[in-house]
Structure 1
Amino acid sequence: MSVALFTLGGTIAMVGDGRLTGAELTAAVPGLAELGHAVEIQDVEKVSSANLTMAKMLEVVDAASKAVAAGATGVVVTQGTDSLEETAFLVDQVWPHPQPFVLTGAMRNPTLAGPDGPANIVAACRVACSPAARDLGALVVFKEEIHAARWVRKTHSTSTATFVSPNVGPIGHVVEDQVRILARPVRLDGVQGSAEPADLDANQVALYSMTMDDDGLLLKNLAETHRGLVVAGFGVGHVPEKLAPVLGELAAAMPVVLTSRTGAGSIVRNTYTSAGSEIDLLQRGLIDGGFLDPYKARVLLRLLLATDDDITAAFAQYQ
Structure 2
Amino acid sequence: MSAKVTLLSLGGTIFMSQDPAGGRARPDDGAGQRLLATVGGGVEIDSHPLANVSSSDVRPHHLAAVLAQARTAVDAGADGVVLTHGTDTLEETAFLLERYWDREAPLAVTGAMRPASDLGADGPANLRDAVRVATAPSARGLGVLIAFDGHAHLADRVTKASSRSLSAFVSDPSGPLAIIEQDDLRLLHHPLPRAARFPGAPPDRFPAVPVLAAGLDEDLALLDHLPPEQLKGLVIAGVGMGHVSPAAMPRLRRLLGAEIPVVVASRTWSGGTSTHHYAYPGSEVDLLEAGALMAGLLPAAKARLLLQSLLAAEAGPEQIREAFSVYAS
Same fold (TM > 0.5)? yes
The answer on whether the counterparts of 1:3 and 1:73 sit within 8 Å (CA) in structure 2 is yes
**Alignment equivalent of 2:10, drawn from 1, 8, 11:** 8
In the TM superposition, what is the alpha-carbon distance from 1:167 to its structure 2 partner? 1.2
Say how many residue pairs are matched.
Answer: 313
The answer on whether the counterparts of 1:23 and 1:41 sit within 8 Å (CA) in structure 2 is no
**Alignment equivalent of 1:216, drawn from 212, 217, 220:** 220
Separation (CA, whole Å) in 1 of partners of 2:201 and 2:40: 38
Q: SS at 1:239's partner residue?
A: coil
In the TM superposition, what is the alpha-carbon distance from 1:57 to its structure 2 partner? 1.0
Separation (CA, whole Å) in 2 of partners of 1:225 and 1:195: 24
Q: How does 1:274-285 map to 2 (within 5 A)?
A: 274-285=280-291
In the TM superposition, what is the alpha-carbon distance from 1:113 to its structure 2 partner? 1.6
Please report the RMSD computed on the Cα atoms of aligned residues, expressed in angstroms: 1.6
Relative to the length of structure 2, the TM-score reads 0.91
Letter in 1 for 2:323: A
Partner of 1:97: 103
**Alignment equivalent of 1:313, drawn from 311, 318, 322:** 322
In the TM superposition, what is the alpha-carbon distance from 1:272 to its structure 2 partner? 1.2
**Alignment equivalent of 2:90, drawn from 84, 88, 92:** 84
In the TM superposition, what is the alpha-carbon distance from 1:121 to its structure 2 partner? 0.3
Letter in 2 for 1:214: E
The answer on whether the counterparts of 2:232 and 2:261 sit within 8 Å (CA) in structure 1 is yes
**Gaps in structure 2 of 5+ consecutive residues:** 19-25
Identity among equivalent pairs (%)? 40
The answer on whether the counterparts of 1:135 and 1:187 sit within 8 Å (CA) in structure 2 is no
Q: SS at 1:118's partner residue?
A: helix
The answer on whether the counterparts of 1:230 and 1:298 sit within 8 Å (CA) in structure 2 is yes
Q: How does 1:23-62 map to 2 (within 5 A)?
A: 23-27=33-37, 29=38, 32-34=39-41, 36-62=42-68
1:73 aligns with 2:83: no
196 and 264 in structure 1: CA distance in 2 versus 1, 3 angstrom threshold: closer
1:207 aligns with 2:211: yes
Q: SS at 2:217's partner residue?
A: coil
176 and 25 in structure 1: CA distance in 2 versus 1, 3 angstrom threshold: closer
Relative to the length of structure 1, the TM-score reads 0.93
Q: SS at 1:258's partner residue?
A: strand
In the TM superposition, what is the alpha-carbon distance from 1:312 to its structure 2 partner? 1.2
In the TM superposition, what is the alpha-carbon distance from 1:56 to its structure 2 partner? 1.4
Separation (CA, whole Å) in 2 of partners of 1:151 and 1:18: 28
Separation (CA, whole Å) in 1 of partners of 2:208 and 2:281: 28
Separation (CA, whole Å) in 2 of partners of 1:6 and 1:205: 29
The answer on whether the counterparts of 2:15 and 2:28 sit within 8 Å (CA) in structure 1 is yes
**Gaps in structure 1 of 5+ consecutive residues:** none
The answer on whether the counterparts of 2:219 and 2:244 sit within 8 Å (CA) in structure 1 is no
